[in-house]
Amino acid sequence: MQKNAKIRSLHNLVFSGYLIPLGLGLLILFIPSFVSAQTPTVPLINSTLRGTVIDGRTKTTLPGAIVQLQGTTHKAFTDSEGEFNFVTGQKFPYTIIVSYIGYKTKEVVVDGSPVEVSLEESINQLGEIIVVGYGTQERKNLVGSITKVNPAETKDIPTGSFDSQLQGKVPGVQISSNTGVPGETVNIRVRGATSINADNDPLYVVDGVFINTNSLQTISTGGKASSPIADINPADIESVEVLKDANATALYGSRGANGVILITTKRGNYNQKSKISFNASQGWSKAEKLWELTTGPEHATLVNEWWVNTGNPASTVPFRPVSAGGRGRPSEQQTYDRLGQVFQTAGMQNYDLSLSGGTATTKYYIAAGYNDQESILKPITFNRGSFKVNLDQKINEKIQVGVSNTFARTGRNQARAGDGPAGGLLQAALHTPTYLSPVNELGIPVGRAGFDNVDLLLKYYDVHSTSLRYIGSLYAQANLLPNLVFRSTVGVDYNNYDESEYWNTFLISGSPNGLATSSVGQSTSLLNEQTLNYRKTLGRHGFGVLVGNTLQADISEGTSSTGRGFANNSFKQISSAAVTTGSQSWNKATLVSFFSRIDYNFSGKYLLEASLRADASSRFGSNNRWGYFPSVGGAWRIKGENFLKDVAFISDLKLKGSYGVTGNQNGIGSFASLGLWSGGSSYQDSPGIAPQQLANPDLKWERTNQYNAGVDISLFNERLNLEFNAYHKQTVNGLLRLTLPATTGFASYMSNAAEISNKGFEFNINSVNIRKSHFTWSTSLNISRNVNNIDKLETPLKYGSRDLILQQQGSPLYSFWVYNELYVDPQTGNSVYQDYNNDGRITVDDRRINGSIWPKFFGGLTNNLTYKGFDVSVFLAFQSGNKIYNHNRFFGEGGGARDAARIIFASNNARWQKPGDITNIPKPDGININNYRDGGSRWLEDGSFLKLRSLNIGYTLPKSLTHKVRIENVRLFVVGTNLFTITNYTGLDPESAASSSQNEQGIDLGTPPQPRGIQFGVNVVL
């Protein structure tokens, strides 16, 4: 009685709503007192059953299968030979239930020993477990739109981080800006982009920890930055779930508007014998092609032509005989190749070792990994050593505790691949005119055209960074009542990022006497979370209630010091510099949240879910600190209705719909709502303070309202599965750095002023085409479309070099703003522009939006085939209808007007030369006038492509062979990456239009392409 009283009073407490918050974890301390020990029963032996469990299709044995006696908890496991031995008090005949992960569970009536049980592999789409916000669900019961990805399919693509490997795998998710530099940030957009000044990146949650995804890099590499996601070893990931609609994401409230990516790392299994898995691979990669440049004589010819065309006398052309004071005739010019110097065949290697398993009460996963890659652009390298420990312990039947730990050290040799003259490696190689010698008349290496000397850069590049990362969580879970689970989690994501650069006196940045920078950044995300989960089935009614709260804090800080003036190039420490300066930064933002979800289903046919999250953020003014994010969703499993029950070819049919609200606050400053004066405006080495930003106490969340409607169809015994979703996202109160008239003394202030919408659909089809004992073939295809539009924006905003990007009401985000070129006049050789206002002049009024970075559709196609021991996977990614501004070509087709300052592309040779010439390249004239106008549409290109992203071929040695040496499994494999690309884009790679700056997408300048690669490897399981 006393125990019941205790439970009842606890019950009352819980349901009177008291126990949502923090600290409930401590209650666990009290639990053991009301948990009674189970009394063991003494077995009575009446029969012994021996048997083997095999795969019905391939006839191979299945070790680790579970054999259970019906109606009891008594079970046994098959050994490494697939055999089991069952001793029971029951008498023959009785029913055993045999189950194995990935196979259909089978009930067999046995009347004697031994038996052979053959299991049929289950496609079991419907029963697949999907991780959702704060829980899991079977696929058939999903109301929201969630895509699960198995990272095993993509983890060998050599990009460094798992997120870039997902490209083309998830419907509705666009991943762009991959480059040839491993471990760089990529842009992930889940169902479009919702914001101009707040982040558009999804939220990443690793084993319940909300991780930092902002690069801590402070040293400029001319555009992009190192990705914090690259600290995670893809081999440790069990599954990736991408949450897309409001029903799935609303539980993440203020952080859910851009979608949520849930990463679940590998864990052991209870009652699993130890398994050691070793994976090793080695490979090489190379640029598919490089830019084609003019030779020295061609360059000189074009420059001379420009000289004459701009009204200068032919007698003074720059390339005239040296005796006449010129640089020599065009035919006398040399050609120097710099691209060949900086691009290389890059090597890579990867090793992963893991140990996993479990006893009845403990399960573990311990792993170590090492990845080392060179970029195809010298001298860039990336390496990551990682270490993973996941443990779970059942303290008793009701209480379980566990930890997840990820440690990683990521080291990089960096180089400036992107924009900017000083230290710009790719630009120095690509943009220095080919006729210019790398040495001066004394034979001393010199940089030309404003760039560094390539030989000196390659010799003296000295930029390094090291990221130390710990992502960990500790949880305790208690089954307070049979249907009531309490869970408390403490998580931390800590990142220490240490970078240093040294520029010696031979390089521009280090001239005249050396420059060194050392910088240490730290980012800490702390999380504390409590949830209570109640689930109950009463007859045909099933329902669940979840309540929870979280406290989060994100702290980032950085210290940087710079030294100038070194005695000579042997001194590199800042302490030995003549002049040193330092700086420091600190930021903190906190979030307090409460959330709840209720779900109900009636006989598995009608599913309803509703959730609400309330978030309070320190970033906003006290007027608008709290935000509320509700969602509601429902599904109708029509298959459950009587009229479909007997339609055999339909395995499942489900309609679903949802509506909800999510928020966004990431990406704005921690103190964005405050009016601030800041220091740092010093004069005469004494401090000065100045207005920094204007207050906006009304600043509040960006809100995204999202509707989703979808249908899931499963046919032919689950062999053909289709999913279709259509959505409409409307973002209001969009966070915008609103341009202020300069007369205020400020450039802008943060406000809620933009509205953006995304509409689209996603289509996904998975099919098992052939399924024979030695041959299988399955296909999956996804196609998505997203239509982005800026619904409200008072003043257009321009971004990017030469204002190439215009954000304007009525057009999509990242639209290109160009002068439309119609044709090259065959008579004059001049480019003819569209004169929209018919005023006879081409002015800024004639500059219009022409296309955007958004494709009409995009997706991926994967085919998997197996034949006996062989397996083949072919993965194609594609997109169509997006534009890219080929900014390299803009410079490279300058027609000679940039003379000795820039390269000329070989394509410029096809320019107009005499009346009657039909060409699309006008005659050479000045810069940013007439034919070579900044923002001309001639360099705006179609970015559609079809790419063979990966081709994976494996061979698994026969078990009969490997088992002899007590090896479970040996697989040899070869992976080809980016083996071909079909595109009309004239740049190197339609996917590398990259910039770390959110609003400057789609401009291809100074980006090494993704390489074509091949890797060989072996996977051994003991």
Q: What single-letter DSSP state applies at residue 943? A: -
Integer CA distances (angstroms), 347 to 285, 374, 919, 1011, 1015, in order: 7, 6, 42, 11, 9
CA atoms within 13 A on the CB side of 330: 14
Site for another protein in 805-864 (CB under 8 A): 844
Residue 793 structure tokens: 């924006």
Nearer to another protein by C-beta: 8 or 645? 8
d(CA 100, CA 119): 8
313 binds another protein (CB under 8 A): no
Q: How crowded is residue 510: how many other Cβ atoms within 10 Å of its Cβ? A: 23
Query: Minimal distance in Å, beta carbon 399 to another protein?
Result: 17
Site for another protein in 553-572 (CB under 8 A): 553, 564-565
CA 937 to chain centre: 31
Query: Minimal distance in Å, beta carbon 809 to another protein?
Result: 12
Nearer to another protein by C-beta: 446 or 598? 446
Tell me which of 356, 495, 721, 751 binds another protein, using CB under 8 A.
Answer: 751
In contact, 1015 and 158? CB cutoff 8 Å = yes
Q: What kind and span of H or E run contains 662?
A: strand 650-664
Q: How crowded is residue 324: how many other Cβ atoms within 10 Å of its Cβ? A: 11
Q: What type of residue is 417? A: A
CA atoms within 13 A on the CB side of 385: 4
Nearer to another protein by C-beta: 226 or 525? 525
10 Å CB burial of residue 3 (0-12, 13-18, 19+) is exposed
Q: Which stretch binds another protein (CB under 8 A): 229-237, 444-452, 717-725, 981-989?
A: 444-452
Site for another protein in 183-222 (CB under 8 A): none
Residue 314 structure tokens: 């032919």
931 binds another protein (CB under 8 A): no
- Residues with Cβ < 8 Å from 66, sequence gap 6 or more? 75, 76, 77, 98, 99, 100
421 binds another protein (CB under 8 A): yes
Nearer to another protein by C-beta: 648 or 742? 742
d(CA 162, CA 155): 7
Query: Minimal distance in Å, beta carbon 211 to another protein?
Result: 20
d(CA 752, CA 750): 7
Site for another protein in 219-238 (CB under 8 A): none
Q: What single-letter DSSP state applies at residue 961? A: H
Residues that bind another protein (rule: CB under 8 A) add up to a total of 101
Q: Which stretch binds another protein (CB under 8 A): 721-729, 733-741, 967-975, 990-998?
A: 733-741
590 binds another protein (CB under 8 A): yes
Nearer to another protein by C-beta: 665 or 708? 665
4 binds another protein (CB under 8 A): no
674 binds another protein (CB under 8 A): yes
Query: Minimal distance in Å, beta carbon 737 to another protein?
Result: 12
In contact, 134 and 600? CB cutoff 8 Å = no
Q: What single-letter DSSP state applies at residue 796? A: -
Pairing mode of beta strands 260-265, 75-77 = unpaired
675 binds another protein (CB under 8 A): yes
**Cis upstream peptide for 114 (omega within 30°):** yes
Site for another protein in 866-895 (CB under 8 A): 891
Site for another protein in 644-673 (CB under 8 A): 670-671
22 binds another protein (CB under 8 A): yes
Nearer to another protein by C-beta: 169 or 619? 619
Q: What kind and span of H or E run contains 822?
A: strand 821-824
In the shown chain, the binding pattern of residues 29 to 68 toward another protein, with x for contact by CB under 8 A and - for none, equals -x--------------------------------------
Tell me which of 36, 60, 113, 440 binds another protein, using CB under 8 A.
Answer: 440
Residue 657's nearest CA partner among 604, 710, 727, 595 is 710
7 binds another protein (CB under 8 A): no
**What would the DSSP string read from start to end of 680-716?**
---BTTB---EEEE---TT---EEEEEEEEEEEEEET
403 binds another protein (CB under 8 A): no
Tell me which of 585, 717, 773, 997 binds another protein, using CB under 8 A.
Answer: 585
In contact, 67 and 114? CB cutoff 8 Å = no
Nearer to another protein by C-beta: 594 or 857? 594
Integer CA distances (angstroms), 219 to 324, 502, 524, in order: 47, 11, 20
Q: What type of residue is 514? A: G
Q: What single-letter DSSP state applies at residue 327? A: S
d(CA 106, CA 121): 11
10 Å CB burial of residue 540 (0-12, 13-18, 19+) is exposed
d(CA 341, CA 23): 61
Site for another protein in 938-977 (CB under 8 A): none
**What would the DSSP string read from start to end of 174-209?**
EEE---SSTTB--EEEESS---SSS--PPEEEETTE
551 binds another protein (CB under 8 A): yes
Site for another protein in 680-699 (CB under 8 A): 680-692, 694-696
Nearer to another protein by C-beta: 115 or 507? 507
- Residues with Cβ < 8 Å from 298, sequence gap 6 or more? 330, 904, 906, 909
458 binds another protein (CB under 8 A): no
18 binds another protein (CB under 8 A): yes
d(CA 570, CA 438): 25
d(CA 897, CA 879): 36
Query: Minimal distance in Å, beta carbon 242 to another protein?
Result: 30
In contact, 365 and 268? CB cutoff 8 Å = yes
Q: Which stretch binds another protein (CB under 8 A): 197-205, 279-287, 507-515, 824-832?
A: 507-515
Nearer to another protein by C-beta: 741 or 916? 741
334 binds another protein (CB under 8 A): no
Tell me which of 280, 726, 740, 906 binds another protein, using CB under 8 A.
Answer: 740
Q: Which stretch binds another protein (CB under 8 A): 10-18, 239-247, 368-376, 659-667?
A: 10-18
Nearest 5°: the CA angle 268, 271, 276 is 50
Nearer to another protein by C-beta: 93 or 679? 679
Nearer to another protein by C-beta: 271 or 576? 576
106 binds another protein (CB under 8 A): no
928 binds another protein (CB under 8 A): yes
Nearer to another protein by C-beta: 26 or 87? 26
Q: Which stretch binds another protein (CB under 8 A): 172-180, 255-263, 547-555, 947-955?
A: 547-555
Tell me which of 15, 92, 270, 586 binds another protein, using CB under 8 A.
Answer: 586
745 binds another protein (CB under 8 A): yes
604 binds another protein (CB under 8 A): no
Q: Which stretch binds another protein (CB under 8 A): 203-211, 358-366, 386-394, 743-751?
A: 743-751
In the shown chain, the binding pattern of residues 353 to 372 toward another protein, with x for contact by CB under 8 A and - for none, equals --------------------
Query: Minimal distance in Å, beta carbon 18 to another protein?
Result: 6
Nearer to another protein by C-beta: 382 or 595? 595
Query: Minimal distance in Å, beta carbon 161 to another protein?
Result: 30
Residue 906's nearest CA partner among 434, 307, 320 is 434
627 binds another protein (CB under 8 A): no
Site for another protein in 754-813 (CB under 8 A): 795-796, 798, 802-803
Q: Which stretch binds another protein (CB under 8 A): 129-137, 199-207, 341-349, 611-619?
A: 611-619
d(CA 116, CA 287): 54
**What would the DSSP string read from start to end of 246-272?**
HHHHGGGGGG-TT-EEEEEE----TTE
